[in-house]
Amino acid sequence: MQWWHNPRYVLPKPWRRVVDLWRYSQGGMGGAGWLPEAGGVASQAAWLLSAFQVLDAESARLEKLRTQKEP
């Protein structure tokens, strides 16, 4: 995901941490990602999973825009 502005300057510090947690949850090379609480997805805070859904949707939207601009 490409940010148009550096999130360090745009987002309040607690929300930067949420973005960091979201990135960790993505995993790498198709593997499962890291979650902040012990257990699986059902053990995570509902507000955090909702925030992850928003970030997933925005990431997909930006990726779609990026690929449409490429020749």
Q: What is the C-alpha to C-alpha distance for residues 27 and 56, in angstroms, rounded to an integer?
A: 13
pLDDT tens-place string over residues 11-61: 888 888 898 889 888 877 666 788 888 888 888 999 999 999 999 999 899
Q: What is the C-alpha to C-alpha distance for residues 28 and 43, in angstroms, rounded to an integer?
A: 21
Per-residue pLDDT, 34: 83
* Residue extents of the structural domains in the chain: 44-71
Q: What is the C-alpha to C-alpha distance for residues 44 and 24, in angstroms, rounded to an integer?
A: 14
Whether residue 70 has pLDDT greater than 70: no
